[in-house]
Structures are given as C-alpha cells and as structure tokens.
Amino acid sequence: MKFTPLRLPGAYLLEREVFTDERGSFARQFCRREMLDHGLDFTVCQCNLSGNKHKGTLRGLHYQKMPFPEPKIVSCWKGKVFDVLVDLRPESPFYLQHISLELTENDAFSVYVPPLVAHGFQTLQDDSVVYYQLGEFFHPEAYDGVRWNDPKLHIAWPIAENIIINQRDNNYALL
C-alpha cells in the first residue's frame, strides 16, 4: 500500500497496489504492519457497509467524542462519492478546516480518517456503497455530528438541490 499524507494532520490517502492477470485482480485492502510502519496504531474493531440508493444522498458529518474517538478507513466499493473530512481537534492548526475528494469503485483508494475528525459523504451515483473499517467500537453515548451545511465550514457539496438526508444529520447544531 502507498500512504500519501493529506492536508489535515494524520489523514492519509491509502492506495492499494493492484495486481492483475488473466483471472482478474488482487489487492490488499488493509495491513496492520504497514499501518504501524506509518505511525498509525489501527486495529479493526468493526466493519460497516453503507448502501445508498440514490444520487445526492448525504451522510454525516459524524465522529465519536472522547473517551472513544474513532479512527476509520473509508472506501467506495460501488459507485462514486464526494468524501469530506473536518478537523475537530482544537489543538490542530487545521481546526474547523476540511478536505474533500472523490472516491469511486474504479480507483484503488481509501481514506484514513484520524480520531476526532468528522467524516461524511455525498453520493454522486445511484446505488453507491461505502465500506468502513473502524478502529473503535460504536459507543452511542460518544456518537456526535456536525451540521453538513454549517456556514463556518464552507463545504461546497457538489449536489445542492434535492439532497437526501436524514433528520438527525440535518439537525446537528451549528458550530
């Protein structure tokens, strides 16, 4: 795997090395040893799939608060998504700044989201599927979110009309 640091400290673009032959392809999705070699002490505690029927579906911006901060590795297994990370670490020089990128089923990329960085995505194609590897167990008492359209964040979501979003994500408090 190739690790490319992103602008937010501790966030990485992970690129799988894809090997192909007459049978198809093979790629390593995760290697704990390689993560440790890059200073990321990540143990998979849980894996989740997010199936999204319609283009324009928006999920997020989610994170887990202390004492259960949640690192994650996010991949698009089907379709195409606009992926967003928001730095919520007050000590970070990038506090309340975000990065965004597209993930597709056709690329070999995943994103490592460090603890206390909120994550969300918007689907750019129908029937998109996002796969999460989580480095902490789900703790409902620590689960929280940031409003997707908070004016302090200046996120330019690619689909602005007819967004499909649940009530919880649409009603998180503004910063």
**Under 8 Å between Cβ of 77 and 129:** yes
Among residues 38, 54, 62, 131, the one annotated as catalytic is: 62
119 classed as catalytic: no
User: What is the sign, positive or negative, of the torsion defined by CA atoms of 34, 36, 40, 42?
Assistant: positive
24-to-14, 27, 30 alpha-carbon distances in Å: 21, 11, 19
131 flagged as catalytic: no
**DSSP string over 130-145:** EEEEESS---TTTEEE
For residue 107, give the nearest of 34, 18, 30 by alpha carbon: 18
Which tokens in the block code for residue 93? 């020089």
What is the rounded CA–CA span in Å between residue 147 and residue 66?
19
- The residue from 54, 131, 132, 143 that is catalytic is 132
Q: Locate tokens 């997010």: which residue?
A: 50
Residues known to be catalytic: 62, 132
